């Protein structure tokens, strides 16, 4: 079983890709986190005002998803990792995971520079290899949203070198996540709401 385990609403409104049975792992072994993920995706809408207003440190998209999950017990998490070789202790800290709960990691990449995908996938690989996470999830935007950005005269703010599905998929298909089960959701134009 794969992405067909997801509710039809999510399949109709997100571009979904999975690797290494991530949906089956989530549904069977992490049902609470699976339900949280479905809830945040069901409740999300892309507000026009989030696109037309200038950005700050964190996008409104990321804030919306983060706050929804934080209310369900998820948290931002940094892992302190070190390896001891003989008497030498080598520190290898990770970057912070946007949302973490019970071995499930979620990253929201709305409009960062596309090398952030490399960072996320490398982090998933390392944390999975160290048995700190079981599944890595990335929520990003689909390419078809560019038409909406252009219509709103914000297209230049969402350039070709920023995080979107076409920049993510080749990295995963090329093995960047290594053995980590990965689940990807792309926000589509179906979720756009021009009334908020």
Report pLDDT for 88. 86
Domain boundaries, the chain: 14-193
Report pLDDT for 114. 84
Report pLDDT for 138. 97
Q: Which two tokens stand for residue 137?
A: 């999830």
Task: Give the 3-state secondary structure of residue 26.
Answer: helix
CATH classification code of 14-193: 3.40.91.20
The whole-model pTM stands at 0.93
**8 Å CB contact between 69 and 99:** yes
- CA proximity to 176, closest of 20, 9, 14, 1: 20
pLDDT averaged over every residue in the chain: 92
Give, as one character, the DSSP assignment of residue 44.
Answer: -
- Distance from C-alpha of 4 to C-alpha of 28, rounded to nearest angstrom: 14
55 or 24: whose pLDDT is higher?
A: 24
Mind listing the pLDDT tens digit for each residue in 147-164? 998 898 888 888 888 888
Mind listing the pLDDT tens digit for each residue in 128-137? 999 999 999 9
């Amino acid at each position: 079983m794969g992405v067909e385990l997801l509710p039809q609403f999510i399949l109709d409104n997100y571009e979904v890709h999975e690797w290494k049975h991530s949906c089956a792992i989530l549904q069977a072994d992490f049902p609470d986190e699976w339900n949280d993920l479905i809830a945040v995706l069901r409740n999300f809408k892309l507000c026009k005002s989030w696109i037309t207003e200038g950005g700050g440190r964190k996008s409104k998209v990321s804030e919306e998803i983060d706050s929804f999950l934080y209310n369900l017990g998820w948290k931002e998490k940094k892992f302190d990792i070190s390896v001891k070789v003989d008497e030498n202790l080598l520190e290898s800290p990770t970057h912070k995971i946007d949302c973490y709960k019970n071995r499930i990691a979620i990253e929201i990449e709305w409009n960062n520079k596309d090398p952030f995908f490399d960072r996320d996938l490398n982090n998933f690989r390392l944390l999975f290899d160290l048995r700190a996470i079981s599944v890595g999830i990335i929520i990003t935007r689909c390419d078809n949203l560019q038409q909406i950005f252009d219509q709103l005269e914000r297209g230049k703010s969402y350039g070709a070198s920023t995080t979107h599905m076409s920049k993510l998929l080749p990295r995963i298909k090329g093995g960047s996540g290594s053995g980590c089960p990965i689940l990807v959701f792309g926000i589509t134009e179906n979720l756009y709401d021009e009334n908020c």
